[in-house]
Amino acid sequence: MLAEELDVFRIPLPAALVGRTLADSGVREETGCNVVAVVQGGQFNVNPEALQPLPAEAELVVIGDLESETRFFGKFAL
């Protein structure tokens, strides 16, 4: 937990997001979560570029409240 009511979670990139950009993914608009980093090969890309395609082998670091996290996993099931 980062702050009261906010969680940070790190997950493998969901298949539905592979090759898509954050700008066209709808993550923030549809779930309320924010992707704060993309992890690839042990390297953290903090504040990732919105127009960079997401690679299949990446992980996401995401922040959101419990409702947002639930929406995220409902939309982008692993």
Q: Where are the chain's structural domains?
A: 7-75
pLDDT attached to residue 78: 67
pLDDT attached to residue 1: 52
- Per-residue 3-state assignment (H helix, E strand, C coil) for the chain: CCECCEEEEEEECCHHHCCCCHHHHCHHHHHCCEEEEEEECCEEEECCCCCCCCCCCCEEEEEECHHHHHHHHHHCCC
Pick the CATH number of 7-75 from 3.40.190.10, 3.30.750.24, 3.30.70.1450, 3.40.50.740: 3.30.70.1450
For 11-44, write each residue's pLDDT tens digit.
999 999 999 999 999 999 999 999 999 999 999 9
Query: pTM, whole model, 2 decimals?
Result: 0.89
